[in-house]
Amino acid sequence: MRILVIEDDKEAAGYMLKGLGESGHVADHATDGEDGLAMASDGGYDVLIVDRMLPKLDGLTVVERLRAEGHQEPILFLSALGDVDDRVKGLKAGGDDYLVKPYAFTELLARIEALVRRRNPAEVETSFKVADLEVDLLSRRVTRGGTEIQLQPREFRLLEYLMRHAGQIVTRTMLLENVWDYHFDPQTNVIDVHISRLRTKIDKGFDTALLQTVRGAGYCLREPG
Amino acid sequence: MNLARTMHTTAFRMALIYLVLFGVSVFVLLGFIYWWTAGITAIQTDDTIDAEITGLSEQYRAGGVTGLATIVRERSRNERQSLYLLINPRRTALAGNLNGWPDVTTQEGGWLDFPYQRPIGGKVETHQARGRHLLLGQGYQLLVGRDTHERLRIEKIMRRSLTWAVVLTLGLGLIGGLMMSRNFLRRIEAINRTSRDIMAGDLHQRVPVSGGGDELDRLADNLNDMLEQIERLVLGMRQVTENIAHDLRSPLNRLRSRLEVTLMGEASENDYRDALQQTIDEASDLLDTFNALLNIAQAESGQLEADSKDFNLSALVRNLAELYEPVAEEKSMTLTSDVAPGITVYGNKHLMSQALANLLDNAVKYTPEGGNLTFILRNSNNRPELIVADSGPGISAEDRERVLDRFVRLEASRASPGSGLGLSLVRAVAQLHCADIELDDNLPGLKVVLRFEEQEMQQA
């Protein structure tokens, strides 16, 4: 992926570019809002990472102008402002996701990959398939190898989210935000327990485990191989 | 407090304005009284003269000049206040008690004001008089007048006393105004003194309240309430700073030492990896602590408005119960939730979620396997009541108040992870939502009860 990072903290941006590079992405860097806007306007990026507070032109304005110009690239806000209010402002300005500093790099990576995927749905999907696991959103039926699996409503939403991001790493925070709409980190391993329950239902008794734990990052639903 | 300062006070200026208005009113009122009284006596004088002239002209018509002269002579002898003079065409006096025709111009209607010499007890005084003259025909003229000396003297006395009355009113008003504004200034000065003390750093100072319940007292009360709030916030800030120093320094130090020591010796790549991973983990813990502190500070600063609205507490509790139910089950505990529907409270939904999650985290963490957790939301006398209870070791009565403070971790809990901030956030969030928090014995275990204020009940 081609990624544009608009971030005035050069050292932080340096780490980020290195990390993105090692993850197989090509990343450019702009140090202020004006440069960032100019580079983004030229287009060609798959995703933009924009800091909220930038010299010359603040992040919100950059994103608003890009959206006004008709740019559709997914945009992830980075900010030291972590209130729900700030988050809402960022999303209203045209951002697609909002990550509060400090963040884990794996979190950033997982989120931009999820964003790019979300932006490119071939069509409105009503069913998903990973290996022999199938989910039908309309009839709310889940089958694996033809056998129907009964899920609780929340388990269904959890699975749906994992299926939408099949093959990508999904972090605990992403699950908590998107499946439960909570913006805090519980002290106990609540998400792990929900995952392990879901895992029991969809993987137990089958030859291959589809729902995998990615150490130090999160989870990934994919066909092993 | 000097005179110049007093004269600059609002109270004094208001006293002065009032004084001017009052002075003008008194002046107008007394002026009117004077004008009315003086006017009436003057009219009385003129009426008396007119009446005498009417009488005498009748005498003239009946008895001619000779008859008139007789009457005039007679009256001149008896009367002390009336003055008469009858002259012939050669302006010689025929009768009367005036020495000569006064040398003044006659006004309209034959009226004239003139001075004359009046013999009083051997001395001669100049008195003022008012009279009217009457042309009798064939050059004879009659002048009838009255001595106005006494009237004018009374008018003069009246004028003087009324002037004094005005001066006295103004003087007394001024003194009263000065005293009033001095009193006012003294109380303002007390407020100023308190503010200066507070600015100098003594936050315990409070503005004195006289107890009379007037505007100044209400101002003082409001200022004191404000000072209370400020002191609370400042103390809170100070506590946060102290806590950060206390609880963030040691882990930061640990982190730094580990990195330094790792760099010192010969180490394999794996050692470096381990050290770095540990550092990352510790940094995450530090950030958690930091975020928890910020959350508490946000809740304690009392800024509810920014992100507040009515939210469905029932739904929030149900969702949290659902989120934690599997965790409890994994530890072979039973989580029983009993949620009354349609309970709405005003506040910050996200902070409330965090606070309740903290309570559930604690309950799950400290309750041994096979225990019971209870999560209840109900209406008790129209007040929403939220209960999180467990069957764990509980907290002894003397520790219950203490655990709500920041970073307090009871000995028993040292082994388990946590920052010691969970319950502090719960308390701060409870206070923010005007809810009472109570820690009770669940026999056995801990029971945390949040009692919200009475809410307007809404149908779910």
Q: Per the CB < 8 Å rule, is B326 touching A184?
A: no
**Chain A residues within an 8 Å CB radius of B327:** 188-190, 193
Q: Is the pLDDT of residue B423 over 50?
A: yes
Q: Are residues B317 and B267 part of one domain?
A: no
Q: Are residues B434 and B406 part of one domain?
A: yes
> What would the two tokens of residue A84 be?
């729900």
Q: Are residues B398 and B369 part of one domain?
A: yes
- What is the CATH classification number for the domain harbouring B352? 3.30.565.10
Confidence band for B191, pLDDT divided at 50, 70 and 90: confident
Q: Are residues B264 and B283 part of one domain?
A: yes
When CB atoms are compared, the residue of A154, A184, A188 closest to B322 is A154
Q: Is the pLDDT of residue A159 over 90?
A: yes
Confidence band for B419, pLDDT divided at 50, 70 and 90: low
The tens digit of pLDDT for each residue in A110-136 reads 998 888 876 655 567 788 888 888 999
Which one of B324, B330, B335, B373 makes the best mutation probe of the A interface by having the most chain A beta carbons within 10 Å?
B330
In a domain, B189, yes or no: no
pLDDT higher for A125 or A221?
A: A221
Q: Are residues B144 and B8 part of one domain?
A: yes
In a domain, B162, yes or no: no
Assessment of whether the complete model's pTM goes beyond 0.80: no
When CB atoms are compared, the residue of A180, A183, A187 closest to B418 is A187
In a domain, B186, yes or no: no
In a domain, B78, yes or no: yes
Q: Are residues B319 and B295 part of one domain?
A: no
pLDDT of residue B407: 57
Q: Is the pLDDT of residue A105 over 70?
A: yes
In a domain, B147, yes or no: yes
| B96-122 mean pLDDT | 82
Q: Are residues B290 and B394 part of one domain?
A: no
- Number of domains within chain B: 3
Question: The domain containing residue B294 runs over which residues?
Answer: 215-299
Q: Is the pLDDT of residue A4 over 90?
A: yes
Domain with CATH 1.10.10.10 in chain A: 127-221
pLDDT of residue A195: 93
**Chain B residues within an 8 Å CB radius of A189:** 327
pLDDT of residue B460: 39
Q: Are residues B310 and B294 part of one domain?
A: no
3-state SS of chain B? Answer: CCHHHHHCCHHHHHHHHHHHHHHHHHHHHHHHHHHHHHHHHHHHHHHHHHHHHHHHHHHHHHHHHHHHHHHHHHHHHHCCCEEEEEECCCCCEEEECCCCCCCCCCCHHHEEEEEEEEEECCEEEEEEEEEEEEEEECCEEEEEEEECHHHHHHHHHHHHHHHHHHHHHHHHHHHHHHHHHHHHHHHHHHHHHHHHHHHCCCCCCCCCCCCCCCHHHHHHHHHHHHHHHHHHHHHHHHHHHHHHHHHHHHHHHHHHHHHHHHHHCCCCHHHHHHHHHHHHHHHHHHHHHHHHHHHHHHHHCCCCHHHCEEEEHHHHHHHHHHHHHHHHHHCCCEEEEEECCCCEEEECHHHHHHHHHHHHHHHHHHCCCCCEEEEEEEEECCEEEEEEEECCCCCCHHHCCHHHCCCCCCHHHCCCCCCCCHHHHHHHHHHHCCCEEEEEECCCCEEEEEECCCCCCCCC
In a domain, B194, yes or no: no
Which one of B290, B319, B327 makes the best mutation probe of the A interface by having the most chain A beta carbons within 10 Å?
B327
Q: Are residues B91 and B20 part of one domain?
A: yes
Q: Is the pLDDT of residue B263 over 50?
A: yes
Distance CA B16, CA B23 (A): 10
Mean model confidence pLDDT for chain A: 87
Confidence band for A50, pLDDT divided at 50, 70 and 90: very high
Instruction: Map tokens 């004195």 to a residue.
Output: B208
pLDDT of residue B121: 75
ipTM: 0.76
In a domain, B160, yes or no: no
- What is the CATH classification number for the domain harbouring B141? 3.30.450
Q: Per the CB < 8 Å rule, is B307 touching A190?
A: no
pLDDT of residue B406: 58
pLDDT of residue A49: 93
The tens digit of pLDDT for each residue in B48-104 reads 999 988 888 888 888 888 888 888 888 888 767 788 888 888 888 888 888 788 888
Percent of chain A with pLDDT over 70: 96
Q: Are residues B239 and B259 part of one domain?
A: yes
| A7-32 mean pLDDT | 89
In a domain, B261, yes or no: yes
**Chain A residues within an 8 Å CB radius of B301:** none
Domain A2-119 has CATH 3.40.50.300: no
pLDDT of residue B74: 85
Q: Lowest mean pLDDT of A39-43, B92-96, B297-301, name the range.
A: B297-301
pLDDT of residue B459: 44
Q: Are residues B292 and B319 part of one domain?
A: no
Domain with CATH 3.40.50.2300 in chain A: 2-119
Domain A127-221 has CATH 1.10.10.10: yes
**Chain A residues within an 8 Å CB radius of B288:** 185
Q: Are residues B279 and B348 part of one domain?
A: no
Please check whether residue B425 touches A, CB under 8 A: no
Q: Is the pLDDT of residue B376 over 60?
A: yes
For residue A192, give the chain B residue with the closest CA. B327
Confidence band for B317, pLDDT divided at 50, 70 and 90: very high
